[in-house]
Structure 1
Amino acid sequence: MDEVIFKGKDKELTSEFKTLKDKKSVSWSDEIYSNVRKTIKDHYLKEQCFTCCFCKQKIIVKSNRAWDAEHIISKSTHPAFMFEPKNLCISCPDCNNEKRDKGVLDRENRVKFPVNSKAYKVAHPHFDKYEDHIKVLVAGKLYEWKTKKGRFTYRIYGLDRFMEDSGRNSNVESGSKVEKLMKSALVSSDDYERAEIELLEELLLLYSPIIGDGIAINAIKKLRK
């Protein structure tokens, strides 16, 4: 993904920000940076084709207010990276709200912006290929993580929220196996992964009319290996 390039007044402001000794005194919402924020959102909306970097839902809404600028390394914990182009992307409000200021680095005390994939515990939109770590079965509903980094991304951006959706889904009967597995996966600590895998199997079957019976069966076979 190509990073945003600041020009003109935006470049002046972000360059001036880098020289500040007390970067904590600057707020992302400061009026002086209003056009910088618009530049960032406009760039990444186009670059990402109106698709959230983390849940991969495509939401074609051109209003900037419908999208959140995501600081992959939180601006509250690392204000120095607030306008770092490779620390920025856009995300849907749900993913942004789930992640908040949770840590994504291998070492949270880093003072220099890391520019390699190994420094991140999440699938980074600028340094990683999403498909290497997470498989989207049904966007916004069903995901399969492939790697440790994929699982961390899945957790921290709330891609397991489909489990909660399953409990509220009118198509899922109260007391059903899916509902019981969902509750087990949400409250169990020792057996979390087992319950989660069983739930994923059930959801694959539930959504098989959408994703195709063959794809669902193959995915279940892979889970059981």
Structure 2
Amino acid sequence: MVETLVMIPGLATTARLYEPQISAIGPDREIIVADHNQDDSIPAIAARLLRNAPERFALAGLSMGGYVALEILRQAPGRVERLALLDTSARPDTPEASDDRERLIALAKAGRFDDIAAKLWPRLVHPQRQSDPELRAVVVDMMRETGAESFIRQQRAIMARADSRPMLPGIEIPTLVLVGEADAITPPAIAREMAEMIEWASLVVVADAGHLANLERPDEVNRALRLWLELD
């Protein structure tokens, strides 16, 4: 039976985040993009996904999507056949990161949601891509589609996430850990930590990419995902 691939977007992103991957993998796998907009905790997002997912599936998540993916393994480990952790972390939020999130939440509550994209953009992509108008337009459009209320719920969920490092040694399914070499939010050292703790993990560092490696370098990421799915 062909595996369904469930993909979980990151903070303030939509299914559009995975358009390059859907184009590359969709002909060979059914792909479902999870809903992560309606709940204000990582466990609740994971539970919603599990209610709507097939009994068995491959699972990929980027950034916040990776936090949810690890929670899914916590809630229903037997249902996940393989795991991809993209530009993400198993660590809990730091006090400094939570303070930054509170400031962004305050902007959203004050009706200054468009200001948030300007603050986040420099940390999302490789320095060489920061003047890319098409890529920036995709990011801004996804943020606007997400909206302030969902953004606030997502930030609250991220701040309260669990430390997933203790569960990593127990993951015994094929796992891809992928990160952009210039990821300023979840840098390669964080990815390396996860890959070293998961026995069946392979680590891929994508050159000339930042936190949104799958949009910045789609060919390289698609190749890694196809190998992980055993399509090539």
Which of the pair has more CA radius of gyration?
1
Q: Same fold (TM over 0.5)?
A: no
Structure showing greater relative contact order (alpha-carbon pairs closer than 8 Å, 6 or more residues apart) = 2
* TM-score normalised over the length of structure 2: 0.24
As a proportion of its length, which structure holds more strand? 2
* TM-score normalised over the length of structure 1: 0.25
